Amino acid sequence: MIRKPKVADVEAMARIINERADLGELLPRSRYYIYQNLRDFVVCERDGRIVGTGSGHILWSDLEEIRALAVAPPWQGQGIGTAIVQALLEEARNLSLPRVFVFTFKPDLFQQLGFYQVDKMTLPRKVWGECIRCPKFPDCDAVALVFDLEERC
Can you tell me which of 3, 32, 124, 148 binds another protein, judged by CB under 8 A?
Answer: 32
- Tell me the HSE value of 81 on the side-chain side, using a 13 A CA sphere: 23
x/- track of binding to another protein for residues 78-97 (CB under 8 A): -----------------xxx
Q: Hey, which residues between 107 and 126 contact another protein (CB under 8 A)? A: 126
Burial 57-94 (b: 16+ CB within 10 A, else e): bebeeebbbbbbbbbbeebeeeebbebbbebbbebbee
x/- track of binding to another protein for residues 126-145 (CB under 8 A): x-------------------
What's the rounded Cα separation, in Å, for the pair 145 and 124? 13
Is the Cβ of residue 95 or residue 118 nearer to another protein in the bound state? 95
Minimal distance, residue 132 CB to another protein, in Å: 15
105 binds another protein (CB under 8 A): no
Stretch that binds another protein, among 28-36, 70-78, 103-111, 144-152 (CB under 8 A): 28-36
7 binds another protein (CB under 8 A): yes
